[in-house]
Amino acid sequence: MRAGRHRHRHGHHWGRRLTIALAGNANVGKSVIFNQLTGSRQIIGNWPGKTVERAEGSLDIDGYDINLVDLPGIYSLSTYSMEELVTREYIAHEKPDVIINVVGAAVLERNLFFTLQLIEMDVPLVICLNQMDIAEDMGITIDSQELQEILGRSVVTTVASTGKGIRELIAKAIGVVGRPVQRQPIAFRHDIEADTKELSGMIEAEQLQLEYASRWVAIKLLEGDPTIKELVGSKSTNVIRAAATLSKRLEELHQEPSFVVVASERYALANQIVHDVQTRKTVKLSLFDRLDRLATHKIFGYVVSLGVIGLLLIWTFTIGTLLSNLFSRAFSFFQPVDPRVNGHLLNVLWNGVFGGFVAGVTLVVPYVVPFYIMLAMMEDSGILTRVAFMMDSAMHQIGLHGKAIIPLVLGLGCNVPAICSTKIMGTRRERLLAAFAITFAPCAARTIIIMGLVAAFVGIGWALALYVIDILLMVVVVKIAVKAVPGELTGMIMEMHSFKRPSLSVVTRQTWVRTKSLITLVFPIYMAGTAIVQGVYALGWFGPVNKALSFLTVGWLRLPVAAGVLLMFGAVRKELILLMAVAIFGSNIAGSLTPVQLIVLALVGTIYPCLATAGVLIKEFGWKASWAIIGANTGMAIVAGGVAARALALIFH
Amino acid sequence: MMSTSTEEYLEALYTLTQDNKTATTSNISKRLNITPASVTEMLRKLAGAGYVNYSRYQGVTLTAKGYEIAEKMTRKHRLLERFLHDVLKIGNDRVHKEACEMEHALSDTTERAICQTLKSPYKCPDDKKVIPACNLGFSSCEECKQWGDGLEKVGHRRTNVVSLAALKEKQVAKIAFIRGDNRALRRLLDMGLTPGTKVRISRVAPLRGPVEINVRGSRLALGEKIACNVFVEKQINAGARRIR
């Protein structure tokens, strides 16, 4: 694990250091609590070597200097997913002083399934019963006192979105530290409890020196958990043998696999607890419920889904254009930002760096950031889940499932953060396919080429046609990829959490996480790449490149010979195709290029990937898979361009 | 040994009564391409043997005994279709007829081998209907995979289950069996779908989209593939039994 666990930016405090971890299901307001507690003192990164987000923050309270870790939202501690593995290892190896288990009051039973597992792990625990307001709206009341007694751990009720109970929560958590509390396990019923006791007794007797609590290890062995079996197996074959006998007996007795027996038992406990502490009365349908019904309606559901995506795009372009103009004006005040390719080499290079930066600020930021803000709001409110629900069968047509709609829509802003966010997909195969689909999504820069070359000089109809062609190509190519990549689609399991008002802090954080990849990955490539290509051009080295590529550009794509340079520039920044075309041919590009050439140039420019996309692909998927994607895209661009050049020649006679 | 035509009748009834509907003489006659008079006669025979509930004006439904055979035959039929289509590359227009001929001779051993080779397929190739669950006495697909040759020691499971994908909105049912590898099974268990758990269908998205269920106070959307692999106890006694 990372060495910087105790790193504090505000190291001048004399307070005692504590590490507190937040753990719980997804969508229970864990991040809201984290944000409430840490404010802006956060570091968001990845778990070392994993694609799982790690959020850490600090706060000073009551003389304590607290390091707060927001663990990924999970439903269980089996090693089904990377998130679960990360959580399990963190708890075992880094041993936080206290774990705050955030529990969604509206979905108590499912949440308790996870709580019971934390109790099995025998960690210092405080239960935070959050989203009490949502539960109340649903007619649910929970006797938190009773719950506290049953669980034997402190329970604090909170409404994180308003900050209610947060102060008390942190005080309770601090209170747990250092007080030697008698932590009672929660007993299973009959045979399972007997087996667990027998096995954990053996583990204790053999003094195996495991990092995990013996009771938890015993339960995991009964379940047949492969990681734990390996861990214990390296120390004691006796225990493994006993565990095998016991779990076989359980299987024979219950006629189910042992992990099913244990999971059923845990849920039976959770169900019993809910029965004891919760009362539910029927309430009238709220406005949110009605909206929910509408959003998943057989007909109106589609209308809502398309409306949501449409709204997102309209908002992005309206706000984006406004901001983009504003920023461009501000920057052209300092220096002209058009690409410079002659004069002193240093000037050309500086112009490249500056131009790359300005392009990032005036082109990517104004469109992409408002887009992310809106998208994060839609995500947090729950409406995107409904879109994924409605779009699932359509997405199946290309071999992906409904959840892929979220990264795909993100790709309309910029492909780079979209590819990062394919994490929500279940398997590597699905992530890869979603990423491949994203590389075809017409991002903000591609839109500029289509608008600048085609809409301006050929007609808006042809520009729209290019979008349609782009999407059709995506469907066809991804369909082929689905067949080519071994494995099959895992089914979608998605929680439909209730609609809620989006939380400002969650939206801000989500937007920041996504924008960060722009600044760390896209900006440097923009700046260095632009400087390099401009420098190379100024040195006159592009002549041979043009000539070398002319068999492709002139012979196959029927473009002017200068297109070689345009496409090289476009690899760095897509909109440079347009800017360089203006620099080479003058502002009336249509005087030098025929409509067919304009369309072909835009089409090719839209399909092949830019360097930043290639960079993020390599970062997320390694070289081999990335080259396959980049190769497929580039090949597709060449084929489609050549075919289009010939087909369009017939239309434009 | 049961006659081929009995099996064909029961199979037709399985499909016709899938949505808790009642079959009529005329739709059976249409489906099997047999005159209504012969159908009526055959139904009387089947009712006499205890496979169907039949009265002239109320239509036909399967009894528990009949359902079990119907389910088994339908499973063999659809599994064979999948095999013919996926492995032998026979076109969708031919698979149905071929499977119809072959299903009656298919043993449990071969049925299991096909199911394993195709990694527990969940729907048939031509009309995309759910392949019913198997009735071998394994507790999970994983156990079946690890079990060696020979099915003598493996008993039969009580079947009478129906896939979640076949249920309608507002229906309530109890989880009976989850098909597929342990990974899929574990994910569903973690979300609360343990055997015996009551689930309520709250939404069914059109066009083979996901199914939204209420389980243990939470709401989950299950994609078509998952929904096809989750089996719930079938409410026999047919009729339009709905619990609100």
DSSP A105-174: GGGHHHHHHHHHHHHHTT--EEEEEE-HHHHHHTTEEE-HHHHHHHHTSEEEE-BTTTTBTHHHHHHHHH
Chain B residues within an 8 Å CB radius of A490: 183-184, 225
> In angstroms, rounded to a whole number, what is the distance separating the alpha carbons of residues B214 and A289?
14
pLDDT reported for residue B235: 67
Which helix (H) or strand (E) element contains residue B198? strand B198-204
* CA nearest to A473, candidates A621, A571, A573, A608: A608
Chain B residues within an 8 Å CB radius of A301: 205
> Residue A223 corresponds to which tokens in the numbers above?
């379940």
> In angstroms, rounded to a whole number, what is the distance separating the alpha carbons of residues B228 and B78?
14
C-alpha distance from A642 to closest chain B C-alpha (Å): 35
> In angstroms, rounded to a whole number, what is the distance separating the alpha carbons of residues A443 and A465?
16
The CA-CA-CA angle for residues A13, A18, A19, to 5°, reads 125
AA identity, residue A242:
A
The mean pLDDT of A561-586, rounded to a whole number, is 84
> In angstroms, rounded to a whole number, what is the distance separating the alpha carbons of residues A1 and A256?
37
pLDDT reported for residue A5: 42
pLDDT reported for residue A334: 59
Confidence class of residue A8 from pLDDT cuts 50, 70 and 90?
A: very low
To which residue do tokens 């013919």 refer?
A: B84
Which chain A residue shows the shortest CA-CA distance from B185?
A260
Kindly give the residue spans of alpha helices, DSSP state H, lying in A518-610.
523-538, 542-550, 563-572, 576-585, 595-607
* Three-class secondary structure of residue A33 per DSSP: helix
* CA nearest to A351, candidates A364, A337, A362: A337
| Among A108, A394, A494, beta carbon nearest to B221 | A494
Which of A223, A254, A296 is the mutation pick for testing B, counting most B CBs within 10 A? A296
- What are the average pLDDT values for consecutive 10-residue runs of chain B, which has 244 residues? 79 83 85 88 89 83 88 92 92 89 89 90 84 85 84 77 88 90 87 93 89 93 91 62 36
Residue A11 has pLDDT above 60, yes or no: no
The mean pLDDT of A585-601, rounded to a whole number, is 85
DSSP line for A260-276: HHHHHHHHHHHHHHHHH
Chain segment A311-332, per-residue pLDDT in tens:
988 888 788 888 888 887 877 7
The mean pLDDT of A183-201, rounded to a whole number, is 87
> Residue B218 corresponds to which tokens in the numbers above?
């939470």
- Please, how many CA atoms are within 13 Å of residue B69, restricted to the half-sphere of its CB? 23
Alpha carbon of A256 to those of A1, A120, A217, A249, B115: distances in Å? Answer: 37, 22, 21, 11, 20
* CA nearest to A495, candidates B100, B43, B212: B212
Dihedral pair phi/psi, residue B172, rounded to 5°: -120, 140
Cβ–Cβ gap A491/B229 under 8 Å: yes
| Among A263, A274, A493, beta carbon nearest to B194 | A263
What does DSSP assign to residue A234?
Answer: T
> In angstroms, rounded to a whole number, what is the distance separating the alpha carbons of residues B219 and A505?
25
The CA-CA-CA angle for residues B18, B22, B28, to 5°, reads 85
CA dihedral A425, A428, A433, A434 (to 10 degrees): 30
Cβ–Cβ gap A392/B209 under 8 Å: yes
pLDDT reported for residue A341: 67
Residue A1 has pLDDT above 60, yes or no: no
Which helix (H) or strand (E) element contains residue A350? helix A345-359
CB atoms under 10 Å from CB of B224, counted, come to: 25
Which of A131, A293, A393, A499 is the mutation pick for testing B, counting most B CBs within 10 A? A393
Chain A stretch 105-134, residues whose beta carbon is closer than 8 A to a beta carbon of chain B: 106-110, 113
Percent of chain A with pLDDT over 90: 35
Alpha carbon of A518 to those of A183, A259, A363, A581, B192: distances in Å? Answer: 47, 43, 12, 25, 39
C-alpha distance from B167 to closest chain A C-alpha (Å): 16
Cβ–Cβ gap B205/A110 under 8 Å: no
What does DSSP assign to residue A609?
Answer: P
> In angstroms, rounded to a whole number, what is the distance separating the alpha carbons of residues A339 and A590?
20
Chain B residues within an 8 Å CB radius of A497: 219
AA identity, residue A318:
T
End-to-end CA distance of chain B: 42
Whether the CB-CB separation of A535 and A348 falls below 8 Å is answered with yes
- Enumerate residues 6+ apart whose C-beta is below 8 A from B144: B112, B115, B116, B134, B136, B138
> In angstroms, rounded to a whole number, what is the distance separating the alpha carbons of residues B146 and B193?
24
Which chain B residue shows the shortest CA-CA distance from A392?
B209
> In angstroms, rounded to a whole number, what is the distance separating the alpha carbons of residues A404 and A397?
12
Task: Identify the bridge partners of residue A17 per DSSP, sorted by sequence position.
Answer: A65
Confidence class of residue A168 from pLDDT cuts 50, 70 and 90?
A: very high
pLDDT reported for residue A159: 94
Kindly give the residue spans of alpha helices, DSSP state H, lying in A177-236.
190-205, 214-223, 226-233
pLDDT reported for residue B192: 93
* CA nearest to B219, candidates A29, A496, A290, A105: A496
Please give the mean pLDDT across all residues of chain A.
Answer: 86
* Chain B touched by A251 (CB under 8 Å): yes
Which of A267, A275, A304, A495 is the mutation pick for testing B, counting most B CBs within 10 A? A267
AA identity, residue A394:
A
AA identity, residue A60:
D
Longest pairwise C-alpha distance within chain B: 53
Cβ–Cβ gap A259/B186 under 8 Å: yes
Q: Which residue has the higher pLDDT, A169 or A410?
A: A169
Whether the CB-CB separation of A359 and A527 falls below 8 Å is answered with no
* Three-class secondary structure of residue A525 per DSSP: helix
* Three-class secondary structure of residue A20 per DSSP: strand
> In angstroms, rounded to a whole number, what is the distance separating the alpha carbons of residues A505 and A36?
8
> In angstroms, rounded to a whole number, what is the distance separating the alpha carbons of residues B110 and B89?
19
Chain A residues within an 8 Å CB radius of B183: 80, 490
pLDDT reported for residue B79: 93
* Three-class secondary structure of residue A286 per DSSP: coil
> Residue A646 corresponds to which tokens in the numbers above?
């010939």
> In angstroms, rounded to a whole number, what is the distance separating the alpha carbons of residues A472 and A468?
6
> In angstroms, rounded to a whole number, what is the distance separating the alpha carbons of residues A38 and A59?
6
CB atoms under 10 Å from CB of A395, counted, come to: 22
Whether the CB-CB separation of A286 and A337 falls below 8 Å is answered with no
Chain segment A12-31, per-residue pLDDT in tens:
445 788 999 999 998 898 98
Q: Is A624 exposed, middle or buried, given 0-12, 13-18 or 19+ CB atoms closer than 10 A?
A: exposed
pLDDT reported for residue A7: 43
* CA nearest to B12, candidates B56, B57, B77, B65: B77
- Please, how many CA atoms are within 13 Å of residue A467, restricted to the half-sphere of its CB? 13
> Residue A299 corresponds to which tokens in the numbers above?
């007909």
Whether the CB-CB separation of A47 and A86 falls below 8 Å is answered with yes
Which chain B residue shows the shortest CA-CA distance from A80?
B183
CB atoms under 10 Å from CB of B109, counted, come to: 11
Percent of chain A with pLDDT over 70: 95
Chain B residues within an 8 Å CB radius of A274: 217
| Among A263, A267, A495, beta carbon nearest to B220 | A495
Whether the CB-CB separation of A85 and A231 falls below 8 Å is answered with no
pLDDT reported for residue A82: 83
> In angstroms, rounded to a whole number, what is the distance separating the alpha carbons of residues A504 and A500?
12
* CA nearest to A573, candidates A412, A436, A449: A449
CA dihedral A349, A351, A357, A361 (to 10 degrees): -170
